Structure 1
Amino acid sequence: MLGGGHPDTAFGYATLASLQEDPSEAVGMLNRCLEIQESLLGEKHPAVADTCDQIGDALRRMGILERSLEFYERSLKIHQEKVDCHLPVARLYAKLGIVSLALGNGRDVVRHHARSIASLKDAPVKRDQAFLSIYDEAGKEMLRERDFDNAVALYRQALSIRKVMCGQLDPDIAIAHEGIGFALFSKGDYIGALREYQKSLSIRETTLEEDHADLLAVVEMVDIVRLKISKVESLPSHAGPGNGLNWTF
Structure 2
Amino acid sequence: LEKALPPNHPDLATSYNNIGHVYNNMGDYSKALEFYERSHKIYEKALPPNHPHLASSYSSIGGVYNDMGDYSKALEFYEKSLQIRKKALAPNHPDLASSYNNIGLVYNKIGDYLKAVQFYEKSHQIKEKALPPNHPSLGISYNNIGSVYHDLGNYAAALRALQSAFQIQQQAFQVSNPAFASTYSWLGRVYRSLKDYSKALDNFEKCLAIVQKTLPERHPNRAITYSNIGDVHRLMDNYEKALVFHQKALNIQENVQCDPTDCATTYMNLGETYREMKDYSTALTFYQKGLEIHENKLSQNHPDLAVVYHNMAKLYLATRKYSMAMKNIQQAVEIAQEKLPSTHPHLLEYKETFEKIRKKM
Shorter-chain TM-score bucket reads 0.5 to 0.7
1-side partners of 2:156 and 2:62: how far apart?
22
Question: How far, CA to CA, are the matches of 1:31 and 1:14 in structure 2?
Answer: 8
Q: What is the RMSD computed on CA atoms of the aligned residues?
A: 4.4
Q: 2:51 aligns with which of 42, 45, 56?
A: 45
Partner Cα distance (2:159, 2:100) in 1: 13
Deviation readout 1:44-91 (Å, 9 max, x if unpaired): 111111111111111111111111111112212222221265322122
Note the residue ranges of structure 2 that are not aligned, 5 or more in a row.
Answer: 173-179, 200-347, 350-361
* Change in CA separation of 1:104 and 1:46 when aligned onto 2, cut-off 3 Å: same
Q: Is 1:183 paired with 2:189?
A: yes
One-letter identity of the residue aligned with 1:10 = A
- Relative to the length of structure 2, the TM-score reads 0.42
CA pair 16-151 structure 1, distance change in 2 beyond 3 A: farther
1:7 match: 10
Q: Percent identity?
A: 21
Aligned partner (choices 60, 70, 77) of residue 64 of structure 1:
70
CA change 1:42–1:131 in 2 (3 A) is farther
Following TM superposition, by how much is the alpha carbon of 1:157 offset from its aligned partner in structure 2, in angstroms? 6.6
Determine if the alignment matches structure 1 residue 127 to structure 2 residue 127.
Answer: no
Shift of 1:30: 0.7
Deviations along 1:148-176, one digit per CA (max 9) or x if unpaired, are 94397799579559869x89xx979xx99
Deviation per residue, 1:114-159 (Å, 9 max, x gap): 21122223315443314533664897xx8xxxx9943977995795
How many Å separate the matches in 2 of 1:78 and 1:129? Answer: 25
> Which residue of structure 1 aligns with residue 222 of structure 2?
none
DSSP 3-state at the match of 1:29: helix
Q: 5+ unaligned residues in a row in structure 1: which ranges?
A: 194-241, 244-249
Look up the equivalent residue of 1:63 and give its one-letter code.
Answer: G
1:166-225: CA deviations, max 9, x gaps? 89xx979xx9998776433312445xx8xxxxxxxxxxxxxxxxxxxxxxxxxxxxxxxx
From the superposition, tell whether residues 29 and 179 of structure 1 become closer, same or farther in structure 2 (CA, over 3 Å): closer
- Contact 1:50 / 1:75 at 8 angstroms: preserved in 2? yes
Q: How does 1:25-174 map to 2 (within 5 A)?
A: 25-81=31-87, 82-83=89-90, 86-130=93-137, 132-133=139-140, 136=143, 149-150=150-151, 160=161
